[in-house]
A and B are shown apart, each in its own frame.
Chain A
Amino acid sequence: MGKFLLLAFRNIFRNRRRTIMTLFVVGGGVAGLLMAGGYFAFMTHGLRESTINNGLGHLQIFTADHFRRDEVRVLDTGIENWRQVAANVTSAQHVRGVAPRIDFYGMVSNGTKAAGFMGSAVDPDAEKSLGFVTRVVEGRDLDAKPAGEVEALVGAGLAKSMGVKVGDGLTVLAMTSDGALNGVDIQIVGIVNSGVAELDARYVRITLPAAQRLLQSDRVTNLVVGLDSTDNTDLAYTELIPRLQGLPQEMALKKWIDLATYYRQVNTMFNGIFLFMGVIVFFMVLMSSVNTLLMAMLERTREIGTMLAMGTPRIWVVALFMVEATLLGMMGAVAGVAAGNLLGALLNASGLHLPPPPGYTVPMPFMVLHVPAQMIGASLLVIVSLALASIIPAVRASRLQIAEALAHV
């Protein structure tokens, strides 16, 4: 077996130029996949963490009714005794904190112009303690206990359309939980830019007590749970489920991935692109290698005839070609992984940025992650591709007529 492998290994280097060309194709394919996959991984990882840190949190607690029916009145599917629920959750392992939220909507007016808004009411201290980022581009964040008027953050797009700036006032109108129309004057303390233009054109954020006064309710829409690490989401989920049972209201616990629709779409898209690239690389390696291996087979026709004449089993000849191709694939994979990681490291060190993608206003860093699973996957892909590419030449070689092969020039 050792000599057989030695023969296969040495055969690879018979025609060095051709071997190097094949290694370029195979290694280039692997490196290309790693670069693309590494960039996709960086994007999805970044999107995951930013999605979580922008306020989604790792887990969210709702009432079960929230998913069963639409609200007839504001907050009628909200969490009633949310402080008790929060206390049940906070003591669990991996939980860093809990932030209550109210989602509401209504009209905002500057006296001459009105526009619809999507409101979010938060406990600023809880949000900060969980590390949730509020991208205040002008002014400051909300104060948990403001001295005077109701403080508010508004999206950059809304501020622009309403013609207001930090320090200006607006009137917010919304339906209360009793179905009446209620209004509250707010003072803009900051302008936020989430990076998503559509959201910024309608966004208003106020404190939780202010929203409860506006909506005439003590309930909250949901509780956002922050964990010590995203990797612990499943563990924490399992631990929290029993803690939410036996409460006056039936609760529902959702993982961030279940709520991050945009993240899932992006991830699915990247996975699809990566798979498509993998298929391209697979067939690129397959086609180019079939040709190369057929040439190698033709060049060695007389030698194969000699081996067969000496009684070498034909299956050995098949195995010889397949082992050669597999070894070549392994060498190409190693070269490709090395090249891909090196290029990735250089790219990461370069500090390059890409223009903002559609719907975003912030340039994206052009970096790649080094993902071991991708290295293994891309390597297996080209190794299998080369092994498959060798089947036709190997079978042809094994079926050579010995007398004809010996006479081959």
Chain B
Amino acid sequence: MNRMDELVKVEEVSRRFPLDHSFVSALSDASLSVSAGEFLAIAGPSGSGKSTLLNLIGCIDKPTTGRIQVDGVDTSTLSPNRMSALRREKIGFVFQTFNLIPVFTAAENVEFPLLVQGVSARERRQRVAAALEGVGLTDRANHRPDLLSGGERQRVAVARAIVHRPALVLADEPTANLDTRNATQLIDLMHDLNRRLGLTFIFSTHDQRLLEHTDRIVRLTDGQVVSDTLNEGGCHGQVPAAGV
């Protein structure tokens, strides 16, 4: 791996949570390196530490020990405000339960990260339109989340995650709440964005459908990385190409 392409570097990271008078270890000495443009899955059963590792990479939690670098920045040295700025500029999030703002329309939800970044109204409109077109939801732009199907909501979430052109998209169990058809469409969509835009995707999942489409699989068990393999046989579906 070329060090220049290294986007995420996890070095002997542990995360322990206090529980009563002791601690529970969610992650133990995990190490991982992710290059720009990768399409990587973190797999493992429930409680194996997948979400914890994603939270740490996404700078929404801090490791108990160890070090994480994102795009060359050591996140352990950042102040909360700098962490917030890093997330705002470099990272997009897709959640298992979509986590859209219910009082905003699909377009407004997608617009929100740009709003936070202070992007001009004109540019926001253009980028939101492109992002929604990219996920095939142009005609649903003015619908609120409660009027969208689960698959559509997750595609809005993906559009929201990529609209500000992050270096890294983190998706925590993105297909867990979707049926097979919507899950497959979402996987194809994300993979297309990965290849077409060079976006780096890191998923946590135990969904076999998603794993089959992933280039690289890091397996966790009881908070430890037990394997890190390339998935040579991954088959990728196709979605219509669109610019974002």
- Which residues of A are in contact with B by a Cβ distance under 8 Å? 3-4, 6-7, 10-11, 13-14, 302-303, 305-314, 316, 401-403, 406
Do residues A310 and B116 form an inter-chain contact, with CB atoms below 8 A?
Answer: yes
Chain A residue nearest in CB terms to B117: A311
Chain B residue numbers with a CB within 8 Å of A311 are 84-89, 91, 113, 116-117
Chain B residue numbers with a CB within 8 Å of A403 are 55, 60-61
Do residues A11 and B84 form an inter-chain contact, with CB atoms below 8 A?
Answer: no
- Given A310-B93, A310-B112, output 20 extra A-B contacts at Cβ < 8 Å: A6-B108, A10-B103, A11-B103, A303-B99, A303-B101, A306-B101, A308-B60, A308-B84, A309-B58, A309-B87, A309-B93, A310-B113, A310-B160, A311-B117, A312-B84, A313-B84, A313-B116, A314-B84, A316-B116, A401-B61
Chain A residue numbers with a CB within 8 Å of B58 are 309
Chain B residue numbers with a CB within 8 Å of A6 are 108
Do residues B103 and A402 form an inter-chain contact, with CB atoms below 8 A?
Answer: no
Q: How far is the CA of A4 from the CA of B87 in the complex (A)?
A: 20
Chain B residue numbers with a CB within 8 Å of A316 are 116
With A306-B93, A310-B93 known as contacts, the answer to whether A7 contacts B104 (CB < 8 A) is: yes
Q: How far is the CA of A126 from the CA of B178 in the complex (A)?
A: 94
With A3-B111, A310-B112, A314-B84 known as contacts, the answer to whether A402 contacts B60 (CB < 8 A) is: yes
Do residues A402 and B61 form an inter-chain contact, with CB atoms below 8 A?
Answer: yes
Q: How far is the CA of A303 from the CA of B97 in the complex (A)?
A: 11
With A3-B111, A306-B93, A311-B113 known as contacts, the answer to whether A14 contacts B84 (CB < 8 A) is: no
Q: Which 4 A-B pairs have the closest CB atoms?
A: A311-B88, A10-B103, A402-B60, A306-B99
With A3-B108, A3-B111, A4-B115 known as contacts, the answer to whether A309 contacts B60 (CB < 8 A) is: yes
Chain A residue nearest in CB terms to B52: A403
Q: Residue B95 at the A interface, CB < 8 A?
A: yes
Q: Residue B233 at the A interface, CB < 8 A?
A: no
- A248 → B minimal CB distance (Å): 79
Q: How far is the CA of A4 from the CA of B116 in the complex (A)?
A: 10
Q: How far is the CA of A403 from the CA of B60 in the complex (A)?
A: 6
Do residues A7 and B103 form an inter-chain contact, with CB atoms below 8 A?
Answer: yes
Do residues A302 and B60 form an inter-chain contact, with CB atoms below 8 A?
Answer: no
Chain B residue nearest in CB terms to A2: B121
30 contacts between A and B (CB under 8 A): A3-B108, A3-B111, A3-B115, A6-B108, A7-B101, A13-B103, A302-B97, A303-B101, A303-B102, A305-B99, A306-B93, A306-B99, A309-B58, A309-B60, A310-B87, A311-B84, A311-B86, A311-B88, A311-B91, A311-B113, A311-B117, A312-B88, A313-B81, A313-B116, A314-B80, A314-B84, A402-B60, A403-B55, A406-B55, A406-B99
- Which residues of B are in contact with A by a Cβ distance under 8 Å? 55, 58, 60-61, 80-81, 84-89, 91, 93, 95, 97, 99, 101-104, 108, 111-113, 115-117, 160
- A300 → B minimal CB distance (Å): 9
- A370 → B minimal CB distance (Å): 37
Chain A residue numbers with a CB within 8 Å of B104 are 7, 10
Do residues A306 and B95 form an inter-chain contact, with CB atoms below 8 A?
Answer: yes
Chain A residue nearest in CB terms to B62: A403
Chain B residue numbers with a CB within 8 Å of A306 are 93, 95, 99, 101
Chain A residue nearest in CB terms to B15: A403
Chain A residue numbers with a CB within 8 Å of B115 are 3-4
Chain A residue numbers with a CB within 8 Å of B101 are 7, 303, 306-307
Q: How far is the CA of A7 from the CA of B88 in the complex (A)?
A: 19
Chain B residue numbers with a CB within 8 Å of A7 are 101, 103-104
Do residues A14 and B102 form an inter-chain contact, with CB atoms below 8 A?
Answer: yes
- A85 → B minimal CB distance (Å): 73
Chain A residue nearest in CB terms to B84: A311
Do residues A406 and B95 form an inter-chain contact, with CB atoms below 8 A?
Answer: yes
Q: How far is the CA of A309 from the CA of B88 in the complex (A)?
A: 8
Q: How far is the CA of A312 from the CA of B85 in the complex (A)?
A: 8
Chain A residue numbers with a CB within 8 Å of B93 are 306, 309-310
Chain A residue nearest in CB terms to B80: A314
Chain A residue numbers with a CB within 8 Å of B89 are 311
Q: How far is the CA of A70 from the CA of B95 in the complex (A)?
A: 89
Q: How far is the CA of A24 from the CA of B93 in the complex (A)?
A: 40
- A4 → B minimal CB distance (Å): 7
Chain A residue numbers with a CB within 8 Å of B108 are 3, 6
- A13 → B minimal CB distance (Å): 8
- B45 → A minimal CB distance (Å): 17
- B159 → A minimal CB distance (Å): 13
Chain A residue nearest in CB terms to B90: A311
- B201 → A minimal CB distance (Å): 16
- B29 → A minimal CB distance (Å): 20
- B109 → A minimal CB distance (Å): 10
Do residues B116 and A312 form an inter-chain contact, with CB atoms below 8 A?
Answer: yes
Chain A residue numbers with a CB within 8 Å of B81 are 313
Chain A residue numbers with a CB within 8 Å of B88 are 310-312
Q: How far is the CA of A307 from the CA of B101 in the complex (A)?
A: 9
Chain B residue nearest in CB terms to A407: B51
Chain A residue numbers with a CB within 8 Å of B99 are 302-303, 305-306, 406
Chain B residue numbers with a CB within 8 Å of A14 are 102-103
Chain A residue numbers with a CB within 8 Å of B84 are 308, 311-314
Q: How far is the CA of A313 from the CA of B81 in the complex (A)?
A: 7
Chain B residue numbers with a CB within 8 Å of A308 are 60, 84
- B177 → A minimal CB distance (Å): 14
Q: Which of A13, A310, A402, A403 has the most CB of B within 10 A?
A: A310
Chain B residue numbers with a CB within 8 Å of A302 are 97, 99
Chain B residue nearest in CB terms to A1: B115
Q: How far is the CA of A170 from the CA of B149 in the complex (A)?
A: 100
Chain A residue nearest in CB terms to B99: A306
Chain A residue numbers with a CB within 8 Å of B103 are 7, 10-11, 13-14
- B143 → A minimal CB distance (Å): 15
- B164 → A minimal CB distance (Å): 9
Q: How far is the CA of A327 from the CA of B101 in the complex (A)?
A: 19
Chain B residue numbers with a CB within 8 Å of A313 are 81, 84, 116
